[in-house]
Structure 1
Amino acid sequence: MTLTTLSISGNSTSASQQRNMPSTLNVHLLFAAILAALLLCATAAPTEKASTDSPAGEPSGDEEVEPTDLLSASPVWDLVLGITKCHVKIFENEFENGVKYHILDHYKISSLPPRCPASNFSKEACLQRLAEGLQTFSVLLKFVQREYPTSQTITIVKNYSESLIRLIKEKMKNPERATVLTSSQEEQLLRNIDNPDAFHKKMTAHSILRELHTWLVDGKRAIIKREKPRRNVTKTNISSTCLYTLGR
């Protein structure tokens, strides 16, 4: 019998053996078919549905906004609130108990922006009020910066506030409706709170920081109510370690 030698992986194989075994191409096709079948089974297999925190009866799936998309869940809120929350400690460290914190009750800021009402106010209207209010506070923070020009704390608060304004406008359907103060309005606002007395200026600066904190807390609460009206809201966890100062 005549033998025909084939070189497959360095081994010699007879012609009869060649006829009885699949070709290399057929083997590859067979493996590909098996792999495709396994993948098809894997994708068709039922998977356990991920559990959610939605209370019974609350819409889920496409009807529910993902937590990462919620304005109230943005870490920027906690970043700026983490600083403004420390204002009492900042005040006490600066004046070393020589001046009591409640003295700020006598230094009211007449031009503070309005807050979102608890009811009868749409989410869009509330977002617009927050954007405009933060822009007003950004101008008021310029007054604080003039009193404490070397303070990195004020710079951080101002930067975070401006970042929050951008986030709020991104959530608005009509962000162009959020008005911005003109340069003349800004100058008038700063003139209204100015005073020739140095101590009065410092108290005004601290009063602005105190009012900013309470305004931000109320603002976040208003947004949470409108974004998650039927959910139990977890209390914001803000670090109690206060290492911020305004400088002397």
Structure 2
Amino acid sequence: MLAAALPLCVPGAPLEGAVTDLPPEESSGEGEKEVQMKPRPIDPFNITETLAQILKVTKGHREEFKNEFRGNVDYNSLNRTLIPVKFPKSKEARLQQLAQDLTTYSVLLKHVDKEYPGKFIVTELKATLPRLITKVKRTMRNADRVVALTGSQELQLLKELESLDSYHRKMMAHSILSSIHDFLVEWKRELTKRQMRKTQISNLNETEPLGSVCS
């Protein structure tokens, strides 16, 4: 099945073991000396803001689906997890996972574009997903670990989708759009949660009484 095959089509560098050292903000702190550092922006490239902007577009897909099939097909019958959402432990691995999965979705979007040429949601995603991928990669230390599908891999993936009959090609196109939406929702929630946690820790450190700092 496509959902099972997708991870095998992604040639990116392995996540497990790819980053053996934790980023500075996630190090254990053992054996380290206190160093005065300027506070860094939580999300310097506004990744969560970009996710929010894209979601304003993709949230309209459910209504479009209902209008197209007039209640004859249940939206919840779509496969909405074509690529399982994973959140690796280290920041670098998380960013790599996000960028790699977005890259795969960009390829799958070509199938949707073929089934629904000129569709507003597809046009917007074709423009915004590459920008989001660029932002994520700019946040990474090793952006070269995010590798696009080769021409033959992309062709094989799209050929598999094109081999479906007309009805199932459309269902797959809608599954891709719904999967992208749910994928972005999950990632926005995860990144927002982590940003809030860092902000709380930062605020706590700034307001901590002098006595407790010196103790």
Same fold per superposition (TM over 0.5): yes
Asked if structure 2 preserves the Cα contact closer than 8 Å seen for 1:70 and 1:227, the reply is no
Equivalent position of 1:87 in the other structure? 61
Max Rg structure: 1
Higher RCO structure (Cα 8 Å, ≥6 apart):
2
Residue 153 of structure 2 is aligned with which of 178, 185, 194?
185
Residue 86 of structure 2 is aligned with which of 101, 108, 116?
116
Equivalent position of 1:10 in the other structure? none
Structure 2: gaps (5+ residues): 1-35, 201-215
For residues 187 and 85 of structure 2, what CA distance do their matches in structure 1 show? 7
For residues 224 and 62 of structure 1, what CA distance do their matches in structure 2 show? 23
Task: State the aligned residue count.
Answer: 165
Q: Cα offset for 1:129?
A: 0.7
Structure 1: gaps (5+ residues): 1-60, 233-248
Are residues 1:66 and 2:41 paired?
Answer: yes
For residues 66 and 196 of structure 1, what CA distance do their matches in structure 2 show? 47
Q: Cα offset for 1:84?
A: 1.3
Asked if structure 1 preserves the Cα contact closer than 8 Å seen for 2:61 and 2:121, the reply is no
Aligned residue runs from structure 1 range 150-169, under 5 A: 150-169=118-137
Asked if structure 2 preserves the Cα contact closer than 8 Å seen for 1:116 and 1:219, the reply is no
Deviations 1:187-207 (A, max 9, x none): 111123333411111111000
Asked if structure 2 preserves the Cα contact closer than 8 Å seen for 1:123 and 1:226, the reply is no
Asked if structure 2 preserves the Cα contact closer than 8 Å seen for 1:77 and 1:220, the reply is yes
For residues 41 and 67 of structure 2, what CA distance do their matches in structure 1 show? 42
Runs of 4+ in structure 1 deviating by more than 6 angstroms, as ranges, are: none
For residues 182 and 104 of structure 1, what CA distance do their matches in structure 2 show? 28
Asked if structure 1 preserves the Cα contact closer than 8 Å seen for 2:42 and 2:198, the reply is no
Q: Cα offset for 1:136?
A: 0.2
Deviations 1:81-117 (A, max 9, x none): 1111121111011122232212324xx77xx444333
Deviates more, 1:164-173 or 1:65-74: 65-74
For residues 188 and 195 of structure 2, what CA distance do their matches in structure 1 show? 10
Asked if structure 2 preserves the Cα contact closer than 8 Å seen for 1:104 and 1:206, the reply is yes
Once the two structures are aligned, what percentage of the paired residues are identical?
A: 39
Cα distance, 1:114–1:98 mapped onto 2, change above 3 Å: closer
For residues 78 and 139 of structure 1, what CA distance do their matches in structure 2 show? 22
Asked if structure 2 preserves the Cα contact closer than 8 Å seen for 1:126 and 1:223, the reply is no
Equivalent position of 1:133 in the other structure? 101
Q: Cα offset for 1:80?
A: 1.1
TM-score (norm 1): 0.60
Q: Cα offset for 1:222?
A: 2.8
Equivalent position of 1:211 in the other structure? 179
RMSD after superposition? 2.4
Asked if structure 2 preserves the Cα contact closer than 8 Å seen for 1:116 and 1:129, the reply is yes
Equivalent position of 1:41 in the other structure? none
Cα distance, 1:228–1:63 mapped onto 2, change above 3 Å: farther
TM-score (norm 2): 0.68
